[in-house]
Structure formats: structure tokens, C-alpha cells
């Protein structure tokens, strides 16, 4: 069996891949079409579309990066994220906490512009998942803040977190949404929207500026995988071992080399002797 690629070649990128997803969604009309298809409701004209938008609010200055950050003519903010399993477990991705993190980044960005919390915009954090994010067999999962003691009482804080299961094959969703899911999963062009997306992907593969940008990111990612962040990986392994995970479980869960996990375990055991 051949060694699996860490990062795809540029000519292999599809709409479901982060880089191509972000580039294609820079087209405001196309982005709006995708959002309206998923949400099954009108979206105002997009006034601002920023892909791979970075916020630097962590203590050590590491960026929080959002795939597609945009605002419509009604003042509603949308953060659209494409999410793949990438040979990791569902637990590894921590989507609920991740959605909370992204929501906080949106709010802080707005407040940093000198606005009052009273003027915080309505916002929707959207995850387009190429897997069922909650393993309940639904096509989408919509979360809003609500009161547990009073049925039907919502907090009305203006936020929504929505997770779309693009593997859904049921018949109880609109046909155009089903076709978008099918394109994301299988690359089948079956209507106007998926045709426009596919044409944008084909054009994107011929865009030399995008190719150069992707190659730079690819080199950085491969260097990080092969050489860097060893201390961070070992720290994560150490924490998982302390929580009772076995070497085999950590290898399966994180995809780390067996030798690395075994070495950390030996060092941990030696430190307590």
C-alpha cells in the first residue's frame, strides 16, 4: 500500500478542499447561491467576502482562521466552513467547541471596531461537513441558545450554529440542496449551481497565482508535518496518556507514528519511577 499524501496536489483540489473552497467562494454571487441553497432562505446581497480571514486574539499571537467570512446587506454575518474528517476521529475535530471559538472571534472583531455590544450583528456559523457531525442521521443540525426550564423560551442573542451533513441521502430535503450535497461528496454536476461551482473549480486549477499561493502553503504544511511542532505533538500525546488512552488508541485517533507515541509513553513512565 502506498504512502498516503499529507497534502493534495493543486490539480487534485476539489470544492470540498479548504483552499479551493475559499477561493471559489470569493465570488459573491456564487457564495450567496451556496448559502441560500443550504439555509433554504433568502440571503441579502453580500457586501464583504473575506476568505481565510485571520484574527490574532490568542495569548501567543497564533491566528484564528475562518474559511469564508462575509456580511450581507441586512448586516448578518456568515462564517462558512468546509470540514473533512482527514483520517481523524469525530472526537478529534471538537466541532461544538470549534463553533463556539469561531463565534467568539466574530463578536470580538466587531467589538474591536469600537462598536457597542448592543449593536452586535446577527451571525450564523456554518459547517459544511463531509461526514455526519453528530451521527444522528439528520441532514442538518441547527443550534440556538434556549432556556432549559421554560419550553420555547429562546435567548435571542442573534447567533446560530448550523452543521450540514453532506453525506445525507434522504428524500426529505429540497432537490437543489440534495444536488449540492451530491456535488460536494461525489463531484456530480446536476444543476445550474453545481455547474457554476464546478466551472469555478476548473478555472481555479488554471489560476497560476492560486497555484503559487497553494504551493507555498503546501510546503509549510509538509514541513510542519515532517519536522516541526514535535513538542506540541508530544505534549498532546502526554495529555492523552494521562487520561488513560493506550498507545494504539492514540495512533488510531491522531495518526501519529507508533514509535513517537511509544517513546512519549516510555518517557512518562520513566519520570514517575
- Helices marked H in the chain: 18-24, 28-39, 90-93, 95-111, 175-186, 192-205, 208-226, 230-242, 247-254, 258-272
**Domain residue ranges in the chain:** 10-223, 229-272
pTM above 0.85, yes or no: no
Q: How far is CA 199 from CA 57, 116, 189, in A?
A: 37, 42, 10
Q: Give pLDDT tens digits for 67-85.
A: 899 999 999 999 999 999 8
Q: Tell me the sheet residues that pair with 64.
A: 55
pLDDT along the chain (273 residues), means of 10: 58 94 95 97 90 65 74 94 83 87 89 84 96 96 96 96 97 96 97 98 96 78 56 75 83 76 83 63
Q: Give pLDDT tens digits for 85-122.
A: 876 777 778 899 999 989 998 998 888 777 788 889 99
Whole-angstrom distance, CA of residue 32 vs CA of residue 25: 9
Amino acid at each position: 500500500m502506498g504512502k498516503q499524501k499529507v497534502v493534495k496536489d493543486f490539480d487534485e483540489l476539489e470544492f470540498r478542499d479548504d483552499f479551493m473552497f475559499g477561493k471559489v467562494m470569493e465570488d459573491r454571487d456564487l457564495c450567496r447561491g451556496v448559502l441560500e441553497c443550504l439555509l433554504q432562505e433568502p440571503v441579502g446581497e453580500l457586501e464583504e467576502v473575506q476568505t481565510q480571514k485571520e484574527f490574532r486574539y490568542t495569548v501567543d499571537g497564533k491566528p484564528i482562521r475562518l474559511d469564508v467570512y462575509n456580511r450581507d446587506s441586512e448586516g448578518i454575518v456568515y462564517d462558512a466552513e468546509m470540514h473533512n474528517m482527514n483520517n481523524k476521529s469525530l472526537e478529534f475535530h471538537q466541532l461544538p467547541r470549534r463553533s463556539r471559538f469561531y463565534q467568539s472571534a466574530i463578536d470580538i472583531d466587531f467589538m474591536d471596531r469600537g462598536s457597542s455590544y448592543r449593536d452586535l450583528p446577527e451571525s450564523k456559523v456554518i459547517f459544511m461537513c463531509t461526514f455526519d457531525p453528530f451521527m444522528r442521521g439528520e441532514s442538518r443540525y441547527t443550534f440556538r441558545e434556549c432556556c432549559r426550564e421554560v419550553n420555547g423560551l429562546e435567548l435571542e442573542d442573534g447567533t446560530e450554529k448550523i452543521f450540514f451533513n453532506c453525506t445525507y441521502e434522504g428524500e426529505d430535503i429540497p432537490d437543489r440542496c440534495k444536488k449540492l450535497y451530491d456535488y460536494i461528496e461525489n463531484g456530480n454536476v446536476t444543476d445550474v449551481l453545481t455547474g457554476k461551482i464546478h466551472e469555478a473549480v476548473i478555472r481555479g486549477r488554471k489560476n497560476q497565482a492560486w497555484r503559487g499561493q497553494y504551493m507555498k502553503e503546501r510546503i509549510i504544511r509538509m514541513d510542519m508535518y515532517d519536522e516541526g511542532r514535535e513538542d506540541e505533538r508530544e505534549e498532546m500525546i502526554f495529555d492523552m496518556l494521562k487520561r488513560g488512552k493506550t498507545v494504539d488508541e492514540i495512533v488510531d485517533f491522531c495518526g501519529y507514528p507508533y514509535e513517537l507515541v511509544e517513546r512519549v509513553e516510555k518517557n512518562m513512565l520513566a519520570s514517575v519511577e
